[in-house]
Chain A
Amino acid sequence: MTDASLNEGLPHEAGFGDYVALLKPRVMSLVVFTAFVGLLVAPVNVHPFIGLVAILCIAVGAGASGALNMWWDADIDAVMRRTAKRPIPAGKVQPEEALALGLALSGFSVVLLWLATNWFAAALLAFTIFFYAVVYSMWLKRSTPQNIVIGGAAGAFPPMIGWAVATGGVSIESVLMFALIFMWTPPHFWALALFMKSDYDDAGVPMLTVTHGRKATRAHVLVYTAFLVPVAVGIAFTSIGGWVYGAVAVVANLWFLRGAWQIWRRDEAVSEADGYAVEKRVFKISLLYLFAHFGALLIEAVLRAGGLT
């Protein structure tokens, strides 16, 4: 028996990075940022080390739900160009490994968050994982074009969990931070779906672009953006808002609303002619939009801590 024969018949052996990729690190960065802001703007001080562990637990919980999502969606991930290189469709990680990792990290993150902070924050994290893995991935994603709308709630929970870590409860501020991400998600993803059309078509995922057509999707982007504006601006009048946040919100919302209006006014011929330039630009604006709002909340918290407001 030679060394070479030991490896015969073995599937590709996954590296550490392949397991990290299962946790969707890019999504995790947004989760970490919004949870951090939720934690910091809360009116109760948290010990820095406990805050660090709490953010880590929220990030690991989000990663665990990402691994469960990749386990469940491996078949459609293989069809879509954007997701075909993920560890499972690429053959680097076995589906059972992703399931085991997802379940183990879910339990670990929820229990540790409970021990480190309070049961309410841990329960919210457990619900978020359940919502993303079961309600969104297993149920809504393949059954309704409203998948993004309701499933977007999973991504909206992190600042609420951060707030709960500090306060042990819910308040109007944390509900509005939730609502900001919840209302932002549909126009953000539909702008993406407009210029990634072939992917969702091929996978048979009932995106709005497939079921109701692209013209209706453009109208939805505008309507949801219009509903997003009062939520985003309204935060300025709560205890976590202020002049800095208010100014950022007004500018960012006008910018995003203008982009949504432009998307609505365009037709397919014009969009195809310039390679969906406006749709791609609005998608990038939407990313900046969310970063700007939570960044402004962070600035307000720093100003309050320094006694400057």
Chain B
Amino acid sequence: MSFEKVEHEMHQRRAGRNFGVLGVLIGVVAIVFGLTVVKVLQLGDITQMERFDHVARPQIVPEEEQ
């Protein structure tokens, strides 16, 4: 049994479209990632994010409870 890749004419025909879709997908990932970074950096108080990481953070526990 051979696993040699069969190069079909269809692969060449659709190459442009497939690479186009690849570019769009990479672009979407980059946009969502970039937006996430910008939005997080725009938060003045980083402890707002720490509340959501499910890890105990002594610095965000109100003083009277310590």
- Measured CB to CB, the residues of A under 8 A from B are 3, 6-7, 13-17, 19, 47, 49-50, 53, 56, 112, 115-116
Contacts and interface: CB of A to CB of B under 8 A. Distances in A.
Interface on chain A toward B: helix, strand, loop, or mixed SS? helix
Interface of B: 8-10, 13-14, 16-17, 19-21, 31, 34-35, 38, 42
Contacts of B16: 15-17
A50 B38 contact: yes
B17 A14 contact: yes
Contacts of A13: 13-14
B35 A53 contact: yes
Nearest to B17: A16
B29 to A, nearest CB: 13
Nearest to B41: A47
Given A16-B19, A116-B35, 15 more contacts: A3-B8, A6-B10, A7-B10, A13-B13, A14-B17, A16-B16, A17-B16, A19-B20, A49-B34, A49-B35, A50-B35, A53-B34, A56-B31, A112-B31, A115-B35
B14 to A, nearest CB: 7
Contacts of A115: 35
A13 B12 CA distance: 12
Contacts of A112: 31
